[in-house]
């Protein structure tokens, strides 16, 4: 009964008019961002972060959540109609979705993507309600050694799973940890790595960093490449899938919901990996795997269901443990911290209105996305025709206004431009920013947990291995790094041997 009472209170919060408005704004804005290629939910949330500081924590969380899962809905529209993924998690949808559209079946493809996203999101939200609170109750017993170990494991998994090049990922994580260390040392009171710049005594601002990396660099990168958009010109009809389409897709939706939810919980898993895994698994279970890539509806249903389930599942480690599973959750973590809230085991108990209100709003937001996504297909298609020459200058303007309004200082704009150039260069070199952002946000928390642990143990690192819950994540972390390093060492040794033979 306690669970039902809390769920009911959550819906009473979510149905408050102001919260419904922000849920609607988040869902519609997320869908729009998912439709427009080249922006994505991370950049959008980074742009809107200064606005959320002026909202209540519940309103801000509801809106950010809506943007995140709304983008999962919108990304399928572009993938199916234009063969360009509006969002990274919809890359795999292009394969069969666009083929269906070319065969005149764009309607059923868009329909099953929307319904699959709704089902996956709903199943995942139920999982959040059932698992987050019990996990938080267990995590209350954690101390600083356990938190340090779990954060190390989470950061390592994100680096290992999300990136192809481990060395580049480690370099970016190192940059993130270094930038997170800039500012006044809370223990000694001495300024660190500030280069004598007074403004850096408070540390590198998160908003200028995000705006530069995801706003300015994104614009600069997209301006130099011409995105070819081949629109499907056939009339879109039969948006409601037929009975045969449902029968072909039902197992793909079920498997996608389960896979997406559990991969969303894992740090580094996220919507992108969930969509690829769901597609690969569906192809393996299929009676006709050779038809995948030619326009089968299961190839659309599986990844679209999985990416929505993963986006909702990623809220569990944030709310229960205070550890972001991906970059979007890291942005939400920073937003809550600005509001004076520390996500973790005590959040659900201390701020039940935030947790239950947000979870209930996800149900409502998923319904909004389903209701508005299909009827507004025609509008989304027209928006795809908007020239990027108009869109990108507006992004730069919003970035500058957002950065300046945070602290009303021009220095933050200089920081944004610096990271814009930094981001542009490193994107050209094919470096990803997920490890950098997560290390930047988690770094100070890890440092605090490490220092507290060493104070408790009087300087002995054995404290991390004397406590089982702290030891296991550290051992897994070391094993992951070792497993990743062995192939790199073998490859380097092979190159040295080949060079020696040539000499």
Please report the pLDDT score of residue 444 as a whole number: 81
Per residue in 121-133, pLDDT (tens digit) is 888 888 888 887 7
Among 30-34, 85-89, 258-262, 462-466, which is the least confidently predicted range?
Answer: 85-89
Per residue in 274-322, pLDDT (tens digit) is 887 788 888 888 788 878 877 888 888 888 888 888 888 888 888 877 7
Q: pLDDT band for position 1 (50/70/90)?
A: very low
Is the pLDDT at 376 greater than 60, yes or no?
yes
Which are the contacts of 78, defined by CB distance < 8 A and separation ≥ 6?
Answer: 34, 35, 36, 37, 84, 85, 86, 90, 384
Which are the contacts of 442, defined by CB distance < 8 A and separation ≥ 6?
Answer: 151, 154, 155, 180, 323, 324, 330
Looking at every residue in the chain, the average pLDDT score rounds to 78
Instruction: Say which DSSP state 212 is in.
Output: I
Please report the pLDDT score of residue 18 as a whole number: 92
Per residue in 377-386, pLDDT (tens digit) is 767 666 666 6
Is the pLDDT at 160 greater than 80, yes or no?
no
Is the pLDDT at 232 greater than 60, yes or no?
no
Q: Give the containing element (helix H, strand E) for 192.
A: strand 191-192
């Amino acid at each position: 009964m306690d669970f039902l009472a809390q769920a009911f209170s959550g819906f009473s919060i979510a149905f408050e008019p102001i919260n419904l408005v922000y849920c609607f704004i988040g869902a519609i804005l997320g869908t729009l961002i998912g439709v427009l290629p080249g922006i994505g939910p991370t950049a959008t949330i980074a742009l809107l972060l200064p606005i959320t500081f002026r909202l209540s924590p519940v309103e801000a969380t509801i809106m950010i959540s809506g943007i995140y899962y709304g983008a999962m809905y919108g990304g399928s529209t572009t993938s199916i109609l234009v063969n360009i993924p509006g969002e990274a998690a919809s890359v795999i949808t292009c394969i069969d979705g666009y083929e269906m559209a070319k065969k005149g079946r764009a309607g059923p493809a868009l329909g099953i993507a929307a319904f699959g996203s709704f089902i996956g999101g709903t199943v995942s939200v139920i999982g959040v309600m059932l698992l987050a609170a019990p996990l938080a109750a267990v995590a209350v017993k954690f101390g600083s050694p356990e938190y340090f170990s779990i954060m190390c494991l989470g950061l390592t998994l994100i680096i290992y799973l999300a990136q192809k090049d481990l060395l580049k990922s480690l370099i970016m994580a190192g940059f993130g940890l270094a930038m997170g260390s800039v500012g006044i040392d809370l223990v000694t009171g001495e300024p660190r790595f500030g280069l004598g710049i007074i403004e850096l005594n408070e540390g590198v601002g998160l908003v200028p960093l995000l705006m530069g990396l995801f706003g300015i660099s994104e614009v600069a990168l997209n301006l130099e490449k011409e995105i070819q958009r081949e629109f499907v010109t056939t009339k879109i009809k039969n948006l409601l899938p037929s009975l045969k389409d449902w029968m072909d897709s039902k197992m793909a939706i079920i498997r996608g919901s389960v896979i997406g939810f559990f991969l969303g919980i894992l740090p580094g898993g996220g919507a992108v990996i969930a969509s690829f895994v769901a597609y690969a698994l569906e192809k393996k279970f299929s009676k006709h795997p050779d038809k995948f890539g030619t326009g089968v509806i299961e190839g659309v249903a599986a990844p679209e269901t999985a990416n929505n389930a993963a986006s909702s599942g990623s809220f569990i480690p944030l709310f229960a443990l205070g550890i972001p599973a991906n970059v979007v959750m890291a942005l939400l973590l920073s937003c809550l911290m600005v509001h004076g809230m520390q996500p973790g085991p005590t959040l659900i108990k201390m701020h039940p209105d935030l947790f239950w209100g947000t979870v209930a709003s996800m149900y409502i937001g998923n319904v909004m996305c389903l209701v508005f996504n299909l009827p507004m297909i025609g509008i989304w298609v027209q928006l795809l025709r908007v020239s990027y020459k108009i869109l990108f200058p507006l992004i730069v303007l919003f970035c500058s206004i957002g950065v300046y309004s945070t602290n009303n200082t021009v220095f933050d704009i200089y920081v944004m431009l610096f990271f814009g150039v930094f981001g542009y260069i490193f994107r050209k070199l094919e470096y990803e920013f997920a490890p950098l952002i997560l290390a930047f946000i988690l770094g100070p928390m890890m440092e605090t947990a490490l220092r507290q642990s060493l104070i408790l143990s009087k300087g002995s690192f054995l404290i991390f291995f004397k406590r089982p819950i702290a030891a296991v994540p550290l051992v897994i972390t070391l094993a992951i790094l070792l497993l990743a390093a062995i192939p790199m060492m073998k490859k380097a040794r092979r190159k040295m041997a080949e060079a020696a033979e040539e000499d």
